[in-house]
Amino acid sequence: MKHPLKSIVLLLHCDDQPGIVSAISREIFTATGNILQLDQHTTDRSEGQFFMRVHFEVNAQGYEKFAESWPMTAQKYNARWQLYDMSIPLKMVILVSKIDHCLFDLLYRYSSGEFNVEIPMVISNHEDLRPMVEKYSVPFHFIPVNADNKREAESQIMQLAGQNSDFLVLARYMQILTPEFIEKYPGEIINIHHSFLPSFKGAYPYQRAYERGVKLIGATAHFVTEDLDEGPIIEQMVTRVSHRDNANDMKIKGKNLEKLALASAVKCTLERRIIRYGNRTVVFT
């Protein structure tokens, strides 16, 4: 009788040194596991950093053996690592304002089964998108935000999402989160910005791109940090524009880029393909 296999992902980051790949492979082999995919990256010698993602299958008994022995091996290499059971879906809470294209795309991918994710709720500072969200049988919470109640509103968001999510997605949520909220929230926060960062940070990027006469526009999915639109970049997408395109034309073209870049960032998060390193990311594709 065959035992069901667990699908496991190991993410690892350490100083580059000989024997790491061999040690990991040996640990998985000893646990009777089978490597499905192994990706690695080494920075240049001036930094000397090593990154790895290993996706493997192993039965329950072998997994227990690996989980017991692996930390001792990792310690020898002074490695920072995470081990994930891919059968357990992550919980994603979405924050949105009035603009719907990114939200709709995420909900569609969720409902169609493309994303192995749970969406406990959508939170918005406007009521406009409630019908769309509830059509997907996802709870909708309206939390108005203004200059006078921002701290209170963020406290409500934290109460709702803090313990009910693994990560937050800002799907065109047109509010700047306070440093206190970002520091307190226990998971990652992903934002989609409608420009090819680091160009045109902040508001009205399409208008500013038009005024600057750019020939490429883009969208950037990035982790949120205390510095506005400065967090580690996960995904970027671009398209060409010309002198014939006005700011509204760029906005229309950019919507598709925003959807695709955000969806890619969410997919990489769900599949555990991202390792943060300083203000950069390693994204294994």
**Which active-site residues does the annotation give?**
229
C-alpha closest to that of 53 among 12, 107, 99 = 12
CB 179 within 8 A of CB 201: no
Using the Cα atoms of residue 47, residue 273, residue 284 and residue 267 in order, give the sign of their dihedral.
Answer: negative
Helix segments in 191-246, DSSP class H: 205-212
Q: Give the separation between CA 62 and CA 58, rounded to whole angstroms.
A: 6
Phi-psi map region of 22: left, alpha, beta (phi>0 left; psi -120 to 50 alpha) = alpha
Q: Give the separation between CA 268 and CA 284, rounded to whole angstroms.
A: 8
- 91 strand-pairing partners: 118
C-alpha closest to that of 213 among 255, 177, 245, 180 = 245
CB 35 within 8 A of CB 56: yes
The Cα angle at residue 63 between residues 76 and 88, in degrees rounded to 5:
110
